[in-house]
């Protein structure tokens, strides 16, 4: 039976709405135009014609039609909400926000207007306002997974990662099969940059890809995270799969180039970056990626030029990319000794997730220290990075006190006994020991310990002559010396040399580590070391298998002192290190402690991807430590330590020959 033809304006409007809801936009538009023929200026028809135009991407026409409807019925919340949608489609986010706010004034529970307002605020990077609106939206629709996910994204943009994860976990519980929500959750975990959160993010993405193996965004993010885990071959596999699906996507090209470089496929890496440059020559991400490749190859002038260009690039992509560029530029400038220009850019580390998130409680409760040296000011300094970083920067604390500032240093709890002995006149507290709020209450302002350099070491000329500043327990030092001397007498040896060879740093650990088996030229040289040197294990963690392999393959036994747990009892470890005649190690926390104690130390310093700014470039000494000698890995392959090991072995032969008999 044929439906009767509409006759009245109301019937034509109803027919249009039915067609509209069925997705037949052409018929719906025809019905709405018939209404306007019968009743010129009819507000509902104008509004709905505008909605169709917006749905078809004709945002300017949509806005004009809906504005005409509003002129006739200004109190209709739906009209203002849909005008906001059309304006947002045009890119006029400020006007869209105003329209959505008008809709909510007219109807406070208008869900569409609130969702649109949230989208517009997030597009305008007005995250604090978006978070307020999301709170209201979630309160009204607590089971809406998409709102929970949006709340997570907004909170992540504000670097409120734990709050973001709470919403995203709820979103996953509400929509467990939604890959977008799970990927967004993984991206938040990745931003935290702790080994455990990166590992969980990898697991989440692997599960997503098990269900959707061709999901490009998940392949890309997984590839990036596998690079962070230093699983570079697996990362390249993910990025190769992504590249086959989206061959011109810039992010894939840049990260694939980085992976290729790390795998010693430099020519391919540069071809990939060159292709990205052709596609997007003003892209900050591409310029920074090329700078990274050049820096790892030792082309510091080229890298510096790329980082500067990335900083100034018209296409900066996002605040996070710009912060990463600023940090790369700052670190390279610091490496080059350009401290005055490098320190201000080094502040970008606070925006990139490379500092300890435990410092957030201090940053939330206290104002930032502006670098002014005000006598009597109580300044909370918190240990923002690892043990080694806290040790190297701690040498500046007495200088801060000498300028009249009252420093309160919140350090890793394992360092507190050693620091309190070393700096008896300073206030040392344990960070994250359950009373961080009480520590914050002691101070007027706060700063991460890395901020001290800009004020106290603005140029290389401002470094005072290096001297030992950590003090081990003298009774424990005497105990260890007596123990190792007795062992030397028993074995007929004369010198005690401590060894430490790997780092567990989540970002650079593999680049800084040298497998013990690779130390063979150092451990056994024509019988000299076998005869005269007692090697002592100073490496934290379980080293039993490595030591057993060296004993079996080289016949060299490395003494392991079971009374020392370097991971948990740093004060006892410091006394052990102080009992050495010489310490040889990679760039890890153990070596920093030994060097700060003033012991003769030799450091195997990584080049390329593992290079750390505070070892500067080319020099063989360090302005930080008085008796430290640097042996540098050549730029290039991050796993090739052959030349460096040979240099250390030769130096050890000469050192042995120079020691009194």
Domain membership flag for residue 497: yes
Domain that holds residue 423: 357-462
Tens digits of per-residue pLDDT, 145-170? Answer: 999 999 999 999 888 888 999 999 99
In terms of domains, do 439 and 564 share one?
A: no
Ramachandran category for residue 494: left, alpha or beta (phi over 0 → left; psi -120 to 50 → alpha): alpha
Q: CB within 8 A of 62, min separation 6: which ones? A: 50, 51, 52, 53, 54, 82, 86, 89
Whether 219 contacts 209, CB under 8 Å: yes
List strand residue ranges (DSSP E) for 214-270, in order: none
Please, which pLDDT band fits residue 638 given cuts at 50, 70 and 90?
low
Tell me how far apart the alpha carbons of residues 201 and 506 are, in angstroms, rounded to a whole number: 14
- Residue whose entry in the numeric block shows the structure tokens 């690779």: 518
Tell me how far apart the alpha carbons of residues 8 and 15 are, in angstroms, rounded to a whole number: 11
Residue 222 has pLDDT above 70, yes or no: yes
Last residue of a domain, one of 398, 428, 462: 462
In terms of domains, do 414 and 533 share one?
A: no
**112-116, 210-214, 449-453: the lowest-pLDDT one:** 112-116
Q: What mean pLDDT do residues 241-268 have?
A: 94
Consecutive H or E run containing 150: helix 145-157
In terms of domains, do 649 and 512 share one?
A: yes
In terms of domains, do 393 and 537 share one?
A: no
DSSP for 303-358, please give it: HHHHHHHHHH-SB---HHHHHHHHHHHHHHHHHTT-HHHHHHHHGGGGGTT-S-GG
In terms of domains, do 458 and 577 share one?
A: no
Whether 538 contacts 594, CB under 8 Å: yes
Whether 508 contacts 544, CB under 8 Å: no
Residues 308/309/310/311 CA torsion (nearest 10 deg) = 50
Tokens for 329, please give them.
């530029």
Tens digits of per-residue pLDDT, 282-323? Answer: 999 999 999 999 998 889 999 999 999 999 987 777 777 888
- Which residues partner with 486 through β-bridges? none
Specify the pLDDT at position 502.
85
Residue 438's Cβ-count burial label (10 Å; 0-12, 13-18, 19+) is exposed
**C-alpha angle 34-36-37 in degrees, rounded to nearest 5:** 65
Residue 1 has pLDDT above 50, yes or no: no
Whether 475 contacts 576, CB under 8 Å: no
- Strand, helix or coil for residue 508: coil
Specify the pLDDT at position 530.
59
Q: CA-CA distances (angstroms) from residue 438 to 230, 386, 424, 429?
A: 39, 23, 21, 10
Main-chain phi, psi angles of 604, to 5 degrees: -90, 105
Tell me how far apart the alpha carbons of residues 517 and 642 are, in angstroms, rounded to a whole number: 12
Tell me how far apart the alpha carbons of residues 499 and 61 are, in angstroms, rounded to a whole number: 74
Domain membership flag for residue 95: no
In terms of domains, do 509 and 639 share one?
A: yes
Q: What mean pLDDT do residues 253-270 have?
A: 93
Specify the pLDDT at position 528.
61
Question: What is the percentage of the chain residues whose pLDDT exceeds 90?
Answer: 74
In terms of domains, do 511 and 374 share one?
A: no
Tens digits of per-residue pLDDT, 549-605? Answer: 999 998 899 999 999 998 889 999 999 999 999 999 999 999 999 999 999 999 999
Tell me how far apart the alpha carbons of residues 455 and 327 are, in angstroms, rounded to a whole number: 18
CB atoms within 10 A of CB 81: 25
Domain membership flag for residue 23: no
Tell me how far apart the alpha carbons of residues 221 and 226 are, in angstroms, rounded to a whole number: 9
CB atoms within 10 A of CB 211: 11
Tell me how far apart the alpha carbons of residues 328 and 339 are, in angstroms, rounded to a whole number: 14
Specify the pLDDT at position 582.
97
Last residue of a domain, one of 462, 497, 518: 462
Please, which pLDDT band fits residue 227 given cuts at 50, 70 and 90?
very high
Domain membership flag for residue 202: no
**39-43, 408-412, 447-451, 655-659: the lowest-pLDDT one:** 655-659
Please, which pLDDT band fits residue 658 given cuts at 50, 70 and 90?
confident
> How much is the mean pLDDT over the chain?
91
Q: What mean pLDDT do residues 68-96 have?
A: 93
Domain membership flag for residue 625: yes
In terms of domains, do 450 and 481 share one?
A: no
Gyration radius of the chain's alpha carbons? 31
Residue 195's Cβ-count burial label (10 Å; 0-12, 13-18, 19+) is middle
494: Cα separation from own chain's centroid: 46
Main-chain phi, psi angles of 473, to 5 degrees: -65, 115
Specify the pLDDT at position 566.
86
In terms of domains, do 480 and 397 share one?
A: no
Specify the pLDDT at position 350.
85
| Angle between helices 589-596 and 387-394 in degrees, nearest 10 | 20
Residue 637 has pLDDT above 70, yes or no: no
Residue 171's Cβ-count burial label (10 Å; 0-12, 13-18, 19+) is buried
Specify the pLDDT at position 526.
55
Tens digits of per-residue pLDDT, 421-473? Answer: 999 999 999 987 667 788 988 999 999 999 999 999 999 999 999 999 999 99
Domain membership flag for residue 524: yes
β-strand pairing of 367-368 with 601-605 = unpaired
Domain membership flag for residue 561: yes
In terms of domains, do 493 and 535 share one?
A: yes
For the chain, the farthest-separated pair of C-alpha atoms sits apart, in whole angstroms, at: 116
In terms of domains, do 522 and 652 share one?
A: yes
Main-chain phi, psi angles of 629, to 5 degrees: -120, 135
Number of domains in the chain: 2
Specify the pLDDT at position 205.
98
Residue 527 has pLDDT above 60, yes or no: no
**C-alpha angle 467-471-473 in degrees, rounded to nearest 5:** 160
In terms of domains, do 383 and 508 share one?
A: no
Specify the pLDDT at position 507.
58
CATH number of the domain within which 641 lies: 3.40.50.2000
């Amino acid at each position: 039976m044929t439906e009767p033809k509409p006759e009245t304006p109301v019937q034509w409007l109803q027919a249009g709405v039915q067609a509209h809801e069925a997705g037949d936009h052409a018929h719906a538009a025809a019905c709405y135009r018939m209404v306007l023929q019968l009743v010129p200026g009819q507000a509902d028809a104008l509004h709905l014609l505008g909605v169709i135009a917006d749905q078809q991407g004709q945002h300017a026409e949509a806005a004009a039609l809906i504005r005409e409807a509003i002129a006739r019925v200004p109190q209709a919340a739906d009209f203002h909400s849909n005008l906001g949608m059309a304006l947002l489609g045009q890119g006029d986010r400020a006007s869209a926000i105003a329209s959505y706010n008008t809709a909510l004034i007219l109807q406070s529970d208008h869900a569409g207007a609130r969702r649109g307002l949230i989208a517009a605020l997030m597009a305008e990077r007005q995250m604090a306002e978006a978070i307020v609106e999301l709170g209201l939206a979630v309160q009204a629709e607590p089971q809406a997974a998409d709102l929970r996910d949006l709340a997570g994204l907004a909170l992540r943009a504000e670097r409120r990662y734990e709050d973001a994860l709470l919403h995203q976990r709820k979103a996953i519980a509400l929509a467990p099969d939604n890959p977008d929500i799970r990927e967004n959750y993984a991206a938040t975990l990745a931003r935290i940059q702790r080994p455990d959160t990166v590992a969980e993010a990898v697991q989440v993405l692997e599960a997503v890809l098990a269900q959707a193996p061709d999901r490009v965004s998940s392949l890309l993010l997984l590839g990036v995270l596998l690079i962070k885990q230093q699983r570079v071959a697996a990362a390249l596999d993910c990025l190769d799969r992504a590249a086959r699906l989206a061959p011109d996507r810039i992010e894939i090209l840049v990260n694939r180039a980085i992976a290729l470089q790390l795998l010693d496929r430099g020519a391919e890496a540069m071809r990939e970056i060159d292709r990205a440059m052709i596609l997007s020559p003003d892209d900050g991400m591409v310029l920074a990626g090329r700078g990274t490749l050049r820096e790892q190859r030792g082309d510091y002038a080229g890298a510096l030029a790329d980082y500067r260009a990335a900083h100034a690039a018209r296409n900066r992509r996002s605040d996070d990319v710009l912060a990463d560029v600023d940090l790369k530029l700052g670190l390279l400038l610091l490496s080059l000794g350009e401290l005055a220009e490098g320190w201000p850019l080094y502040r970008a580390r606070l925006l990139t997730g490379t500092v300890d998130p435990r410092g957030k409680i201090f940053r939330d409760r206290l104002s930032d220290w502006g670098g002014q040296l005000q006598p009597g000011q109580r300044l909370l300094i918190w240990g923002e990075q690892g043990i080694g970083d806290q040790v190297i920067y701690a040498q500046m604390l007495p200088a801060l006190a000498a300028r009249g500032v009252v420093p309160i240093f919140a350090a890793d709890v394992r360092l507190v006994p050693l620091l309190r002995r070393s700096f008896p006149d300073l206030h040392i507290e344990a960070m994250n020991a359950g009373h961080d709020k009480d520590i914050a209450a002691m101070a007027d302002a706060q700063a991460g310990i890395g901020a001290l350099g800009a004020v106290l070491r603005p140029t290389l000329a401002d470094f005072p002559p290096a001297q030992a500043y950590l003090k081990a327990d003298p009774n424990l030092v005497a105990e260890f010396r007596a123990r190792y001397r007795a062992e030397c007498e028993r074995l007929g040896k004369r010198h005690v040399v401590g060894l430490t060879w790997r780092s567990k740093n989540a970002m650079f650990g593999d680049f800084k580590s040298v497998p013990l088996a690779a130390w063979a030229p150092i451990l056994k040289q024509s019988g000299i070391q076998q005869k005269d040197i007692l090697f002592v294990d100073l490496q934290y963690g379980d080293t039993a298998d490595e030591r057993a392999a060296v004993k079996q393959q080289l016949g060299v036994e490395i003494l392991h002192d079971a009374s020392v747990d370097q991971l948990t009892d740093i004060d006892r470890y410091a006394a052990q290190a102080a009992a050495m005649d010489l310490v040889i190690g990679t760039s890890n926390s153990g070596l920093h402690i030994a060097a700060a104690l003033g012991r003769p130390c030799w450091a195997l310093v990584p080049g390329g991807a593992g290079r750390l700014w505070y070892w500067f470039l080319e020099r063989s000494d360090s302005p930080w430590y008085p008796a430290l000698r640097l042996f540098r890995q050549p730029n290039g392959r991050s796993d090739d330590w052959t030349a460096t090991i040979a240099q250390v072995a030769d130096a050890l032969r000469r050192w042995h020959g120079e020691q009194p008999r």
